Amino acid sequence: MLWGNTAGSKRTIADLCRATRGSAGLDLCATSYTVLTPEMGVQTLATGVFGPLPPGTAGLLLGRSSASLKGILIHPGVIDSDYTGEIKILASAPNKIIVINAGQRIAQLLLVPLVIQGKTINRDRQDKGFGSSDAYWVQNVTEARPELELRINGKLFRGVLDTGADISVISDKYWPTTWPKQMAISTLQGIGQTTNPEQSSSLLTWKDKDGHTGQFKPYILPHLPVNLWGRDILSKMGVYLYSPSPTVTDLMLDQGLLPNQGLGKQHQGIILPLDLKSNQDRKGLGCFP
């Protein structure tokens, strides 16, 4: 029986066998001896089995119950019908050190009918794997300042994103007169005003339109033309900076990016930037040292 490929030669889905007549999935194994520890996070394990899948099908990669009982966590994944690269297993050992032997069955590939809906781009995934069709929202740095509206204690404020500021600052002309404030213990540097700055005397609750929320104690400064949202807010929102380069641009074009076209794996027509959503619990793929 062939559960995977431990010999190093290319195998296809057609070479796989089911464990029994009633087995729903095709069992897969790792091609090499592997040791997983909790500190390593998620690792990709090669199977030596390559796509594409049978016509009209897609694949669900799931863990085997026997692997779960041993403490091996197999992270579910979807194998697209047009994927021609090597099928790999995402595995981790969150609780203890786990040894996986070459040829040990730890995952299974479940073939399901493929239902095509929506628009598609005239291109195939080919051998591009994890994350090759993901879409990321970025904002170009231009003369227009990146602004963000926040609802603070129920009141709407507009401010400029300032990644260089540790603490957010609200202009005195926008500060409600009924909100208490006090003289700040520390001084401010970097914005031209350091003498006797004021600060909110209580924690304020902020919330953006995407549902991110938190508490902060902003500074209040006179003669400031705009409010500044600093890292005390931006870090809670999961904001990150992105600096493109010709190398990255060429790579994205090779992966199928169509400039000025709608985003989405199947060209659904998402033309506007995507709303920024925090995903703090997501972990990237690890690698062996």
Residue 25 lies in a domain: yes
Is 162 one of the catalytic residues?
Answer: yes
The reply to whether 192 and 106 lie within a common domain is no
As a whole number of angstroms, the distance between CA 200 and CA 219 comes to: 6
pLDDT in tens, the chain (289 residues): 444 555 556 788 888 877 788 888 999 988 988 888 888 888 889 999 998 999 999 999 999 999 999 999 999 999 998 888 899 999 999 999 999 999 899 999 999 999 887 666 555 556 555 554 444 434 444 445 678 899 999 999 999 887 667 889 999 999 999 999 988 776 666 555 455 678 898 999 999 888 889 999 999 988 788 898 988 888 888 766 555 566 666 665 665 555 555 445 555 444 455 565 665 565 555 444 4
CB 15 within 8 A of CB 53: no
* Listed residue (61, 63, 59) closest to 113, CA to CA: 59
> How far apart, in whole angstroms, are the C-alpha atoms of residue 43 and residue 92?
6
- Which of 91, 113, 135 is the C-terminal boundary of a domain? 113
CATH of the domain at 100: 2.70.40.10
Give the domain-ending residue among 194, 216, 237: 237
Number of structural domains found in the chain: 2
In whole angstroms, give the CA distance from residue 6 to residue 23: 22
The pTM score is 0.44
101 and 164 in one domain?
no
Which of 192, 220, 237 is the last residue before a domain boundary? 237
Residue 188 lies in a domain: yes
Do 70 and 163 fall within a single domain? Answer: no
- DSSP H helical ranges for 156-286: 231-237, 246-254
| Residues 6 or more apart whose Cβ sits within 8 Å of residue 136 | 242, 274
The enclosing domain of 160 has a CATH number of 2.40.70.10
Strand (E) or helix (H) holding 96:
none
* C-alpha to C-alpha distances, 254 to 86, 87, 94, 194, 284, nearest whole angstrom: 19, 21, 35, 50, 22
The answer to whether residues 88 and 33 belong to one domain is yes
Query: 18 is in which domain, residue-wise?
Result: 11-113
Annotated active-site residue in 27, 80, 162, 208: 162
Q: Would residue 230 count as lying in a domain?
A: yes
